[in-house]
Amino acid sequence: MLIQFNFKNFKSFKEEATLDLSATKMTEFSERVVNVGGEKSLTVAAIYGANASGKSNIYHALGYMSDYVINSFKYGDDEEEYELYKPTPFLFASDSATDESSFEIYFTFPGDKKEKTYNYGFCINGEGVTEEWLNSKAKTAREFKTVFYRGRTPDELDLSGIPASSRDNIKVALEKQVLVVSLGAKLKIEICKQVREWFLMNEFADFGDPITNYFLSRRLPNEFADNKDVQKDVIRFFDSFDEHIKDFRVEKIPQENQAKEEKYKINSLHKMVDADEMVEIPLEAESAGTLKMFALYPDLRDVLEKGSVFVIDELNARLHPLLVRNFLLTFLNPKINTNHAQLIFTTHDTWQLSNQLLRRDEVWFVEKDENGESTLYSLADFVDEDGIHIRKDENYEKNYLIGKYGAIPSLKSIDFIN
């Protein structure tokens, strides 16, 4: 499980931002708090804020960290390749524009019977990695122990938690653009493989991007084309929000070149109202909401089975608020979410901003100041002008829209024609 994510000097976030999925000492919905590794964690984080406030940059920060952990072993001393993958710092201040960016997580491995907690992070600038660390803590321990530490000079490389037989290989092969975790996974060092695998298990979906939307809606679930059981599983998934689709008909499109990727024509089957027959509709002719749910299905199934993290930008796009709520309840209900999968999402859907659905520590806000700098804060930590914390029986939606919690747009009349 992801316990905490910290990042600094990335896009609109100049100072350190913390997305904390640790449960605070609150009484509401206590039954869905997960106890793993001596930590009490939450399965959902909902992030609200005005347009251009920086909500999506949280999605991009966690996505950047994941991509770099997974792929950095490929960048070895390749300046041109690294140029494409170096981070984007906060550019509106001269000190931060040339400074390093940092990314750090606290997490546990799904299914780890020892329930160890890990702390991993790295700092990176325009030239390469400047610092990297991995620490671990036993369930009953008070302090973290070093697995490895990489400092700012070659002499500051502590691999004491790495098997001795692998240390020389890392020292010889490590380049300034490459992470120890990424290289270590390539060299089949078990702890490095586990960390990289944790990032690989997590899923990302950016529904605020039209291009991503297009490709996601045309991605087939594994074995969907050939396995009728998988198709029936998708029908059961659809049945939770749309009972009209009764089946699918999948037809392979012949390809002249056998080396090309296989393509399929998919029709959804609907029952006729005045006859005991089915009518076929091309899947791409279904509603945008249906196509989005079709796109969500493969990743939703994977994260629920693996107990990993699903990070979604603009979850509410093209979806009815009740459907979004049903999607959230999949993660919030411990009887369904038995493997403690987590959902982190950005949204403008204030209908979900309710004390009947979310705990105060599951609600987050992003606000951008006049200097273009974003700040992330939790409803649980918010205090009003009198220094009083938000009560659990407040109308979160109403108070947010009237500006009590901040993180709303500052609007003026649209009179540009005059």
Token pair for 66: 């994941």
* Measured CA distances, 362 to 202, 266, 403 (Å): 19, 38, 19
What pLDDT is attached to residue 386?
Answer: 75
Structural contact between residues 199 and 169, judged by C-beta atoms closer than 8 angstroms: no
| pLDDT score at 192 | 97
- Evaluate whether 397 touches 354 at the Cβ level (below 8 Å): yes
Q: What is the pLDDT of residue 56?
A: 95
Contacts within 8 Å (CB) and 24+ apart, 128-137: 128/82, 128/175, 128/176, 128/177, 129/72, 129/176, 129/177, 129/178, 129/179, 130/100, 131/102, 132/179, 132/180, 132/181, 134/161, 134/180, 134/181, 134/191, 134/195, 136/161, 137/37
Q: Are 400 and 350 in contact (CB under 8 A)?
A: yes
Q: Are 173 and 161 in contact (CB under 8 A)?
A: no
Instruction: Kindly state the tokens that stand for 352.
Output: 């979900």
Q: What is the mean pLDDT of each run of 10 residues along the chain (418 residues)?
A: 98 97 93 92 96 94 97 78 87 94 97 95 95 96 96 90 95 93 96 97 86 69 83 86 84 74 84 86 83 85 96 88 90 95 95 94 95 95 82 91 87 70
How much is the pLDDT for 387? Answer: 78
Q: 368 with 14: CB under 8 angstroms?
A: no
> Is the pTM higher than 0.85?
yes
Phi, psi of 168 (to 5 degrees): -65, -35
> Which contiguous run of DSSP H or E holds residue 136?
strand 129-137
Give the SS3 label for residue 79.
helix
Task: Give the other-Cβ count within 10 Å of 127's Cβ.
Answer: 12
pLDDT of residue 409: 81
Domain range annotation of the chain: 2-202+308-401, 221-286
Please, what sign has the CA dihedral across residues 139, 143, 145, 149? positive
pLDDT at residue 213, rounded to an integer:
67
Distances (CA, A) of 76 to 61, 162, 193, 368, 390: 22, 21, 18, 36, 49
Two tokens, residue 125:
């600038």
CATH 3.30.43 fits 2-202+308-401, yes or no: no
pLDDT at 149: 98
Query: Which amino acid, residue 149?
Result: Y
